[in-house]
Amino acid sequence: MRDRQAALEAKRQALLEAGVDMMDPSSVYVEDSVQVGEGTLLLPGTILRGDTVVGRNCQIGPNVMLTSCTVEDECAINASQCEESVIRKGCQIGPYTHIRPHCVVGEGSKIGAFVQLKNCNLGKGTKMAHLTYVGDSDVGDDCNFGCGTVTCNYDGFQKHRTIIGSNVFVGCNTNFVPPVQIGDGAFIAAATTVTQDVPQDAMVIGRTRQQVKEGWAAANREKKRKK
């Protein structure tokens, strides 16, 4: 136990001497196999494990666990977990993001609150701000995913892949039922379930038309009161 504590303290000290900053070194856990670049700030609750490599001028934490990940320069990761994946330069991750194994997040992408990624490749500048699941997918550059987007990758027996081009707009509460391919520049209307391929620059909408029944709510309340 003493040897492990001494090794942990020695690792933290070596990082500090190499130009890594820590607000509270005693609250940071870094395994000996980990590499961290100069100018990076490790905030309280940071756990770096396995073959993790963090680049220069990043901000990691608070409350982040990285396991065998590569994080390139100038990334910010807040209150999130990431395993066996690559985060390219200048990404913003979190809070409350879970990046599962075999993901590559493209340069300058923003992955926000309650987003989960699994076995997917994201291009540059793609944004998933909140409440999204993307698994077994390839996504191009500069896409925007609205809240509540889901790739329905598992049919109960096999996993299927969703392929999305660049500059695609995905409206809120969209479901992709793969295998499907979405062409560059496509526009997916909110609340659409996509079950077929979408051509380049097309708009797809798959929801029932809204109906407005004036006075229905008041009449229904009156009916309920009389019972």
CA distances from 45 to 7, 11, 53, 55, 158 (A): 18, 16, 18, 19, 37
End-to-end, the C-alpha distance of the chain in Å comes to 72
Q: How far apart are CA 44 and CA 56, in angstroms?
A: 18
Q: Which residues are catalytic?
A: 130
Q: What gap in Å lies between CA 58 and CA 65, rounded to an integer? A: 14
Residue whose tokens read 């992408």: 109
The answer, yes or no, to whether the previous bond of 44 is cis (omega within 30 of 0) is: no
Whole-number Å distance between alpha carbons of 100 and 17: 32
